Amino acid sequence: MLLYRLGPEGFYAATDPEGDLRFLHSDPFGTQAGGWDFGRKVPEGRRTPMVPVRPSKIVGVGRNYRAHAAELDNPMPKEPLLFLKAPSSLIGPNAPVVLPPESSRVDFEGEIAVVLRDRACRISPEEARSSILGVTCACDVTARDLQRSDATFARGKSLDTFCPLGPAIAITADRDRDLEDLEVTTRVNGEERQRGHVRSMEWGILQLISYISTFMTLEPGDVVLTGTPQGVGPLAPSDRLEVEVSGVGILENPVELWQGG
Ligand code: ZN
Over residues 58-108, the pLDDT tens digits come to: 999 999 999 999 999 999 999 999 999 999 999 999 999 999 999 999 999
Q: Are residues 9 and 124 in the same domain?
A: no
CA–CA gap between residue 98 and residue 110 (Å, rounded): 16
Give the mean pLDDT of 118-132: 96
Q: Are residues 110 and 177 in the same domain?
A: yes
CA–centroid distance, 11 to ligand 1, in Å, is: 29
Q: Which domain holds residue 21?
A: 1-48
Q: Are residues 117 and 37 in the same domain?
A: no
- Euclidean distance between the first and the last CA atom of the chain, given in angstroms as a whole number: 40
CA–CA gap between residue 84 and residue 13 (Å, rounded): 28
CA–centroid distance, 138 to ligand 1, in Å, is: 9
Q: Are residues 70 and 157 in the same domain?
A: yes
* Ion ligand 1, residues whose Cβ is below 5 A away: 109, 140, 228
Other C-beta atoms lying within 10 Å of the C-beta of residue 56: 13
Q: Are residues 28 and 58 in the same domain?
A: no
CATH number of the domain encompassing residue 78: 3.90.850.10
Structural contact between residues 132 and 29, judged by C-beta atoms closer than 8 angstroms: no
Burial class of 31 by CB neighbour count within 10 A (0 to 12, 13 to 18, 19+): middle
Q: Are residues 42 and 69 in the same domain?
A: no
CA–centroid distance, 228 to ligand 1, in Å, is: 5
CA–centroid distance, 108 to ligand 1, in Å, is: 9
CA–centroid distance, 2 to ligand 1, in Å, is: 24
Could you give the number of structural domains in the chain? 2
Closest CA to 248 of 109, 133, 120, 125: 133
pLDDT at 176: 60
Give the mean pLDDT of 231-260: 97
Q: Are residues 23 and 124 in the same domain?
A: no
CA–centroid distance, 119 to ligand 1, in Å, is: 23
